[in-house]
Amino acid sequence: MSATDAATEPSPGLRVVRDATCTFCGCVCDDMELTVEGNHITKAKNACVLGKAWFFNHHIEDRPEALIDGQPAGYDQAMDRAAEILLSARFPLTYGLSDTTTEAQRVALAITDWIGGIVDTTTSVCHGPSGIAFQSVGEVTCSLGEVKNRADYVIFWGGNPAESHPRHFTKYSLMPKGEFVPNGRKDRTAVLIDVRKTKSAKAVDHFLRVKPRRDFELAWALRALARGVELDPSIEETTGIPLETLEEIMDGMKKAKFGVILFGMGLTMTRGKHFNSEAVLALARDMNEHTRWSAKPMRGHGNVTGADNVVSWSTGYPFGVHLGSGFPRFNPGEFTASDVLARGEADAALIIASDPMSNFSQPARDHLEGIPSVVLDPKLSDTARIASVAITTSTYGINTGGTVYRMDDVPIPLRPAFDSPYKSDLEILRGIESRIRQRQLSGSLPDPAASGV
């Protein structure tokens, strides 16, 4: 499938692709203007430093279509072998999915359902705790355009957008002039809460340096102040922030017309994890007794939000879903990829657009290395290196079209810049699915659900 809106020319010429989308981070900026010369992007107007690196460093590498046990192989052979591995497994794991299109994610879900495996995404190692917190307290949130048009008080908590989401300040949260904040930055008060003074501190009005691992206490202190509860000045010893400062911040929060808390993994992956996310979600919720407040996790990967959505609509649960009993079951910790691998449970893996060998725990990596695996990746990642079947795919957003969900759940179409000689994740996954279905429907295999795993 190709949604390239300017046709690829036979000889290397100069083309411009407007309104293209950068899938590098969860901002999913869709206002890229890419200049393409042959198989290279030479200019990326509107891209941030990360986006430029994403676009400029993308080259079509001269790699085989696939490697089977380290030996070059064609796509057909690789898809045959992949289907065989997945069909032979009793406890297969599908993992990754956050850097591919929703179209490909949907087929990955179908495969996992047909073979009765586990499906998990990188959410379980980033904002999984926020997902769990959401299930306990809910969430008051909004689209990024609401932040742009209304937010007059913005709190960044446990994140460093200046370096992780460089255009967030200029495109959505701080600088833009909006319908109800016509003077842009001047109409907004900005606060950064973090354990260290990062580059983002320069962009805000108040930097609150919270003691490491005290985010939970800080959120509850603010909740108490929101309710009018008197706090002991010793709160400074606990959180590192003087009571007067907290009172001043709360006063500003109550006077705001529309506030938002944008929180990162500094909150979700530190001591307390989902309790921290819960406390911050509850704080934003409580503030609605005074004025309007929202909260929003700052998601990292380009389409991790799409993955959450696809897993949820297909199974009813957001990540860590077990389909081995013939229906979806959800239990983070039991059915999340790093845990399943570390306990040595999965007996095959399908890894899509993710590199667990570079970031999972040693026991998880050891186990993954020892089981048959199918890996789809444009690059020869650490995980692709250990795969039984490593399939080279084209890069989403640069070479293939499809859909990506921004961190605020807004779905955005991709306008690829140039064609790749490699197939997309979607094409490969469809090929694997059709092979699996052929075998299942021909009656040559028992239905895994019937065996009551």
Positions that interact with another protein (CB under 8 A): 3, 18-19, 21, 30-31, 102, 106, 110, 113-114, 116, 131, 134-146, 148-150, 171-172, 178-180, 257-258, 285, 288, 291-292, 294, 308-309, 312-318, 323, 326-330, 403, 405-406, 409-413, 440-441, 447, 449
Smallest distance, another protein to C-beta of residue 120, A? 15
- Encoded amino acid at 269, one letter: M
Q: Please give the Cα distance from 116 to 348 (Å, whole number).
A: 12
Cβ atoms of residues 142 and 260 within 8 Å: yes
Q: How many residues does the chain have?
A: 453
Considering the complex, state which of residue 297 and residue 356 has its C-beta at the smaller distance from another protein. Answer: 297
State which amino acid sits at residue 162.
A
Q: Which two tokens stand for residue 185?
A: 């930055």
Closer to another protein at the Cβ: 223 or 406? 406
| Smallest distance from another protein to CB 324, Å | 10
Write down the least CB distance from residue 182 to another protein, Å: 11
Give the span between the Cα atoms of 87 and 84, in whole angstroms: 5
The SS3 of residue 290 is: coil
Nearer to another protein, 325 or 361 (CB): 325
Nearest one of 112, 68, 69, 118 to 436, comparing CA atoms: 112
Contact (CB, 8 A) for 381 and 395: no
Give the gyration radius of the chain's Cα atoms.
23
Given the complex with another protein, which of 3 and 229 has the nearer CB atom? Answer: 3
Q: What are phi and psi of 150, to 5 degrees?
A: -125, -30
Q: How far is the CB of 28 from another protein (least distance, A)?
A: 9
Q: Which residue has the tokens 């203007």?
A: 33
Nearer to another protein, 152 or 355 (CB): 152
Least distance in angstroms from the C-beta of 106 to another protein: 7
Whole-angstrom distance, CA of residue 110 vs CA of residue 115: 9
| Nearest distance, CB of residue 361 and another protein, angstroms | 25
Nearest residue (CB) to another protein, 320 versus 378: 320
Q: Which helix (H) or strand (E) holds 132?
A: helix 128-137
In the complex, least distance from residue 440 CB atom to another protein, rounded to whole angstroms: 7
CB of residue 325 to another protein, shortest distance in Å: 8
Answer whether 326's CB lies under 8 Å from 73's CB: no
Shortest distance (Å) from residue 243 CB to another protein: 28
**Rounded to whole angstroms, what are the CA distances from 221 to 214, 217, 241, 248?**
11, 6, 10, 13
For 385-390, the CB contacts below 8 A with 24+ separation are 385/357, 386/357, 387/67, 387/351, 388/68, 388/69, 388/81, 388/85, 389/66, 389/67, 389/68, 389/73, 389/78, 389/81, 389/82, 389/85, 390/66, 390/67
Handedness of CA 66, 385, 95, 442 (dihedral sign): positive
Judged by beta carbon, residue 142 or residue 357, the one nearer another protein is 142
- Shortest distance, CB of residue 55 to another protein, whole angstroms? 17
Cα distance between residue 443 and residue 440, in whole Å = 6
Closer of 323 and 350 to another protein (Cβ):
323
**CA 95/CA 367 separation, integer angstroms:** 14
Q: Of 231 and 449, which has the nearer Cβ to another protein?
A: 449
Residue with Cβ nearer another protein (19 or 244)? 19
